[in-house]
Amino acid sequence: MSLLEASGVTVRLGDRDAVTGVSLSLRRGERVGLVGPSGCGKSTLLRAMLGLEPLAAGTITFDGRVVHGAPKTMRRRFQPVFQDSQAALDPRFTVAQVLDEPLALHGLRRGADQVARLLALVQLPSDLAARRPRALSSGQRQRVALARALACEPELLLLDEPVSALDVIVQAQLVALLEGLVRERGLALLLVSHDRPVVERLCTRVIGMQDGRLTAEPA
């Protein structure tokens, strides 16, 4: 059985279909890259797989269960990291609060030691725990977003252009970190990007997308 599966998925945004009849599956531990130009529907598809966009047609399942309306006990098993970490992290929270939130939500072990462990996991010093996201660099914020996604020990990461907003050096560092974490933890990965070299480094299978549909060859 596939870990994540989309079958005949169509997502309508306004008066147009942003995604049309897409079928895609990921096995446990598989790393899949979805490549295509801006506006092709790849980010919309990823949001639909997270249950964040309603479906006009089709179904999306995780481990055989329908994603839309799924209980939080199942949702902890697949976690996102988005492109804009500044928008994704609550500016009112400290880094410690950002990382504690998913632990509290899912009834997992909490405390300063857990926050420090998560920061160490993404190669950040523990003294960042008292800062707020706006006091961090863009690379640090994206590492915090990754740490939050890993807090619930997920089986699958869904990444939407996670390094495209970073400068070249910081991008390379984060890609190396992601590569190590995914391999060490045996995580499945769905990576949405227009950056073919990044996708080829992190993924074992690459799929193209154009005008809301999957293509035979990556764009």
Q: Give the pLDDT score at 10.
A: 97
Measured CA to CA, the distance from residue 181 to residue 188 in angstroms comes to 11
Based on the domain organization, do 198 and 161 belong to the same domain? yes
Query: Which of 123, 96, 94, 124 has the alpha carbon at shortest distance from 112?
Result: 96
> Which range, 81-85, 152-156, 163-167, is most confident?
152-156
Q: Give the pLDDT score at 217.
A: 55
Q: Give the pLDDT score at 107.
A: 81
Based on the domain organization, do 159 and 60 belong to the same domain? yes
Neighbour tally for 190: CB within 10 Å:
27
Based on the domain organization, do 4 and 50 belong to the same domain? yes
User: pLDDT tens, 167-185?
Assistant: 899 999 999 999 999 999 9
Residue 110: both structure tokens together: 């909490």
- Phi, psi (rounded to 5 degrees) for 61: -125, 150
Q: What is the CATH number of the domain that holds 28?
A: 3.40.50.300
Residue 117: both structure tokens together: 């462990």
Based on the domain organization, do 145 and 106 belong to the same domain? yes
Based on the domain organization, do 177 and 139 belong to the same domain? no
User: pLDDT tens, 29-80?
Assistant: 999 999 999 899 999 999 999 999 999 999 999 999 999 887 777 888 999 9
Q: What is the domain range of residue 199?
A: 1-77+154-219
Measured CA to CA, the distance from residue 127 to residue 130 in angstroms comes to 6
Based on the domain organization, do 166 and 181 belong to the same domain? yes
